[in-house]
Structure 1
Amino acid sequence: MSRLKGIAGRDTRAGFRTESRDCSACVPQGLLKAARKSGQLNLSGRNLSEVPQCVWRINVDIPEEANQNLSFNASERWWEQTDLTKLIISNNKLQSLTDDLRLLPALIVLDIHDNQLTSLPSAIRELENLQKLNVSHNKLKILPEEITNLRNLKGLYLQHNELTCIPEGFEQLNNLEDLDLSNNRLTTVPASFSFLSSLMRLNLSSNQLKSLPAELSGMKRLKHLDCNSNLLETIPPELASMESLELLYLRRNKLRFLPEFPSCKLLKELHVGENQIEMLGAEHLKHLNSILVLDLRDNKLKSVPDEITLLQSLERLDLSNNDISSLPCSLGRLHLKFLALEGNPLRTIRREIINKGTQEVLKYLRSKIKDDGPSQNDSVIETAMTLPSESRVNVHTIITLKMLDYSDKQTALIPDEVFDAVKSNIITSINFSKNQLCEIPKRIVELKEMVSDVNLSFNKLSFISLELCTLQKLTFLDLRNNFLSSLPEEMESLTGLQTINLSFNRFKILPEVLYRIPTLETILISNNQVGSLDPQKMKTMENLITLDLQNNDLLQIPPELGNCVNLRTLLLDGNPFRVPRAAILMKGTAAILEYLRDRIPT
């Protein structure tokens, strides 16, 4: 009977049917009935200019079925209806919300993004159970102080509004984990933010910030800080003590120096592209022990120090559009998966080598390293005495670089002498690219205990033999530009595989076996005929960071793909789908995933 509190003392039938008729034009009764059962109501994209009263009063008024004396079975008794906990009214034309919002005190999720709201009602303070509030893409100029009463709030999304300041008392939201204030008009960040002790993700990008308060270092749980596209000239040194920080974005600012991060032991990505950084020194690099991605594009760097080799975990390095004329040979010692050098006046590396891609550049740099071991000439002479045919095999590469290289020979068969040349040496990389191979050499199995990197690109492979599936230490596999249309199920035994390149083949679906390799971080499958993928299985791939599906045959992108929140790079250009539109694709991966999530049926 507690649900009747709001209706005592009035005729429950009076005016109800009129209200219902007004409501039914935009909110079908069936939708309301389902919402009373599930506690969830999605009114996204219904062209609403105001929220109908029947929505606010869904848990107060008696349903129309009851007023019509319809019978209810045990599962439909209106007095046992579920309180509304999730309300989505995004993508409408709402200019304001009324104080009737207080009639939904059980709300846990309120999503009103993509409307025309200029303010929020003070009654929002009564939604004390609210955990997620999305008011992004509106026209808010200020936030009501009452918002600080939402002490259970975990996610607050205010991006793309017109906010110029943050209300006092905001630090009282001490359960907040995710705060997005990007694309507003903020000029300062309150020092009191340091009291947001639960915050793990803070997005301040695309504002007008000239500085950051040193007090931000008090956020001991912060993992992701995005300050892209501001007016920052320096970073307070106190930020270097943020021990939990993993991702830091400082692109498109006015930085002249790379900050030092002595205490940020967990920092995995540092993005400082499009600044005015002129120098990169050992002091900037020596503490970045865990860094995986370093973005330095579009700066004013003139050189790269030899100390770059301190970054032993580095996988992606972007140096494009700087003033770099030469690279240290020691760069070749890094295990990079991606190296961008375009737009530099490089004189020490021929353009044709750069055009061949990352692995060829690293291979070239390694070949220039002066090694203490036997010289290349000595090696060739020594092996020629015992096995003259080995003079065709680069033994120096085997000994010094631990690489078995027999690439660009246009051969249909790898000679036995190539494998014989390995002898007792340790081999970690195989490069048989740019040949005419129709099958993988069976003798590759002899290296199964050692090899972590295999390049079989630009061949004529139409199937993958099981010998490849025995390479237990394999982490990088390049199979692009072949004739492959499937992968063997046995590949799931490659339990260390992190990167696979299947571009320019003949795949019509994303190979099922890939979903069962949980270590995969990068899947490149552009320029195939892929027409479908399974977003539910893909969500289980928790390590997947990069997915390149460009130039395939995808007619639609499943909204559930938006749940793959670990993806940092999702490339979809060149497919025949109509949504997401090109404007969304241009905004980048985060915007695409958010767009898809918003369209998941509830």
Structure 2
Amino acid sequence: MSRYKGIKSKIVHSDLNPVFHLQTKECDAKELSPHLIKLARRSGQLNLSGRGLGTAPEKIWEINDLDEAEIRLLDVKLDRDSDGDRWWEHEPLHHLDLSSNSLTKISSKIQNLSTLTTLNLQDNGLESLPCEIGNLQSLTKLNVNYNKLTDIPNEFFQLRELKSLAISHNFLESLSSDGIGDLIMLENLEVSHNKLTVVPPGVGFLTRLKQLSMSHNDISDLPPDIGNLRVLQVLDLSYNKLTTLPPLGELRKLEMLYLQHNLLSSTPDLVGCACLKEAHFSDNSIKDVQPEVLENLPHLKVLNLRDNKLDALPDEVSSLRALIRLDLANNTLTTLPSSLGLLPHLQALQVEGNPLRGVRNDIIRCGTVRLLRYLRERWQSEGNTIEGEDEHGPLPGGAPDQSANGFPDRYNMLRGGKILSLANKSLATVPAEVFEEAKAVDVYSVDVSRNIISEVPSGLFSLGQTLKELNLASNRLTAIPSSLGLSCPNLTFLDLQKNFIETLPEELSSLNSLRELIIAFNKMKSIPSCVKDLPSLEILIARDNQITDVDLTILNGPKFLATLDLSNNDIHVVPPELGLLEKLRCLELSGNPFRVPRHSVLSKGTPAILSYLRDRIPH
């Protein structure tokens, strides 16, 4: 017994260093070491993210000034080789990151950091912001996502230089109608995952706004002033309680529209939104789609209408010539318009969950290609004639006006909107002089799809930085030259589907503006590694390849990935961590040999799939 008592005595009286201990102000202050202060004064940037801080070290608020001890240690020598702290080289703090800590308040002394341009307070426990934050007149970017804010002080709206404001995942019930309109330089506003019930009319004064995200709130009405946002590109009002919407035709620059999970009974008036590329209306109560809306969306690529009450789809759907994805699953459709088969770029057509009478179930189960072929055949059997047809089906419309040598001249390219269209002409190559003509009129879009080209024409690279859209689909390409990424750095759209490509060169990672990459129907066995370094990528269509695994190290790279199509590949395992891609709004995995998730989960749509995957992550 005495032996055990001795051991117990040693345990009780020994100097333990517990794993869990109370974080005091003194401990917090030590996180801001002299070395960090020195680096911050040299670079103007201070990063204290993820250090478990309960309070912000007081020294932060005085970091631009020297205290008495520091003055005594000043190195006033003019020797360039000296390693001392030369005060004349100090950079005032302009970037402060206090994210991912346990801060509950911010000192009013923050007003001392008048040179701040970027302030990151994300992922803390802040319940309020100090009024003095309004004195940071140089601030251009503020992130207070994932906190406990219930309101914003009126002084906050004095930040007239603010360009990016992120206050999602808080408890805000309202925004000052007058105040929000004073942030006239704002370009990006994120207030998702709050408790807002209305959109303040003052938002209409934010005429520089490009992105507006107000999803996951309780908003039931949208003010007509929303039409004043003439340069708005992304509007996210998903997961709200909207029943009607004002006409959105004045949003002429709008490219992405997210309205899923609302209470809409009809699609909004989008006549005038000629730049719209994606429209998401799933999980509403929409009964019909206005034909005039479909006729005025020439660049629409994604239309999601699943989980609504549609009983018919107008023939005008054939006007959506750029459409790539159409989701009509889980509606009350009894028939499909034959004109759907005329859409030349349609790759994914979801119709399961509808009481279709005119299409056999075995045709639907065979997938999009078989279904479109059936619709084209039905279109022809109805006595319609089609002027152009290739192995991918008949194509409506005639060839564009051309010059005597068979290629469009400058006049026709200008008249066509600075677009060089050479699709479906049985071309094996394109002469360099054609691209020289295109360069002379600043052509931004080139379409050489549905030809027999085996190598990317070298003359294409002469378009350089003006080229933004490139369609090389349905050719005989086996490789993409590495020079494409270097010669045409401003590409936003690249379509390489239906070729014989096995991989993509690493040099394509230099395409920093690329938003949409289509590599479907090729011979790829893995997701190209260059995808990891495409910061602007939003849409990746990689269906119908030979991909064997879902590489999350690659897919975690693009931070804005919203659409991912990996259907009809050879994927045996779906990693649960795929459910953590928070921007993902459309995920297609059908047609792979994995056992989980089961088809019953896949048929419920992307939110259900992502939720299922997250629930399978080991804790």
Question: TM-score scaled to structure 2, two decimals?
Answer: 0.69
What is the 5 A alignment of 1:444-523? 452-453=449-450, 467=454, 469=456, 475-477=472-474, 487=479, 489=481, 492=484, 498-501=494-497, 510-512=504-506, 514-515=508-509, 521-523=517-519
What is the 5 A alignment of 1:84-233? 84-167=93-176, 168-233=178-243
Instruction: Kindly provide the amino acid, as one letter, of the partner of residue 84 in structure 1.
Output: L
Instruction: Kindly provide the amino acid, as one letter, of the partner of residue 377 in structure 2.
Output: S
Confirm whether residue 314 of structure 1 aligns to residue 323 of structure 2. Answer: yes
1:95/1:118 contact within 8 Å kept? yes
Corresponding residue number in structure 1 for 2:373? 363
Identify if the C-alpha distance between structure 1 residues 369 and 208 changes in structure 2 by more than 3 Å, giving closer, same or farther.
Answer: same
CA distance in 2, matches of 1:279, 1:306: 12
Identify if the C-alpha distance between structure 1 residues 577 and 247 changes in structure 2 by more than 3 Å, giving closer, same or farther.
Answer: closer
Identify if the C-alpha distance between structure 1 residues 468 and 243 changes in structure 2 by more than 3 Å, giving closer, same or farther.
Answer: closer
What is the 5 A alignment of 1:528-547? 528-529=525-526, 532-533=529-530, 535-536=532-533, 538-539=534-535, 545-546=539-540
2:562/2:583 contact within 8 Å kept? no
Identify if the C-alpha distance between structure 1 residues 315 and 404 changes in structure 2 by more than 3 Å, giving closer, same or farther.
Answer: closer
Report how far residue 357 of structure 1 moved: 3.3
CA distance in 2, matches of 1:577, 1:68: 59
CA distance in 2, matches of 1:512, 1:368: 44
2:532/2:553 contact within 8 Å kept? no
Tell me how many residue pairs correspond in the alignment: 491
Report how far residue 478 of structure 1 moved: 8.8
Identify if the C-alpha distance between structure 1 residues 474 and 135 changes in structure 2 by more than 3 Å, giving closer, same or farther.
Answer: closer
Identify if the C-alpha distance between structure 1 residues 349 and 372 changes in structure 2 by more than 3 Å, giving closer, same or farther.
Answer: closer
What is the 5 A alignment of 1:286-325? 286-325=295-334
1:182/1:206 contact within 8 Å kept? yes
Corresponding residue number in structure 2 for 1:35? 40
SS at match of 1:216: helix
CA distance in 2, matches of 1:155, 1:582: 28
1:503/1:528 contact within 8 Å kept? no
1:29-50 Cα offsets, whole Å, 9 max, x none, are 2222111111111111111111
1:38-84 Cα offsets, whole Å, 9 max, x none, are 11111111111111012221112349665456677648402431000
1:477/1:499 contact within 8 Å kept? no
Corresponding residue number in structure 1 for 2:594? none
Confirm whether residue 77 of structure 1 aligns to residue 91 of structure 2. Answer: no
Identify if the C-alpha distance between structure 1 residues 68 and 470 changes in structure 2 by more than 3 Å, giving closer, same or farther.
Answer: closer
Identify if the C-alpha distance between structure 1 residues 292 and 401 changes in structure 2 by more than 3 Å, giving closer, same or farther.
Answer: same
SS at match of 1:241: coil
Corresponding residue number in structure 2 for 1:593? none
Confirm whether residue 569 of structure 1 aligns to residue 574 of structure 2. Answer: no
CA RMSD of aligned residues (A): 4.2
Identity %: 34
2:532/2:554 contact within 8 Å kept? no
Identify if the C-alpha distance between structure 1 residues 365 and 553 changes in structure 2 by more than 3 Å, giving closer, same or farther.
Answer: closer
Confirm whether residue 255 of structure 1 aligns to residue 252 of structure 2. Answer: no
1:389-416 Cα offsets, whole Å, 9 max, x none, are xxxxxxxxxx86521479xxxxxxxxxx
Instruction: Kindly provide the amino acid, as one letter, of the partner of residue 226 in structure 2.
Output: L
Corresponding residue number in structure 1 for 2:352? 342
Report how far residue 23 of structure 1 moved: 5.6
Structure 2, gaps ≥5 residues long: 1-23, 394-421, 432-446, 461-469, 587-619
Identify if the C-alpha distance between structure 1 residues 134 and 478 changes in structure 2 by more than 3 Å, giving closer, same or farther.
Answer: farther
2:348/2:368 contact within 8 Å kept? yes
SS at match of 2:380: coil
CA distance in 2, matches of 1:184, 1:206: 7
Instruction: Kindly provide the amino acid, as one letter, of the partner of residue 48 in structure 1.
Output: L
Confirm whether residue 585 of structure 1 aligns to residue 605 of structure 2. Answer: no
SS at match of 1:498: strand
Identify if the C-alpha distance between structure 1 residues 548 and 101 changes in structure 2 by more than 3 Å, giving closer, same or farther.
Answer: farther
1:48/1:92 contact within 8 Å kept? yes
SS at match of 1:453: coil
SS at match of 2:326: strand
1:308-334 Cα offsets, whole Å, 9 max, x none, are 122223222211111112111111111
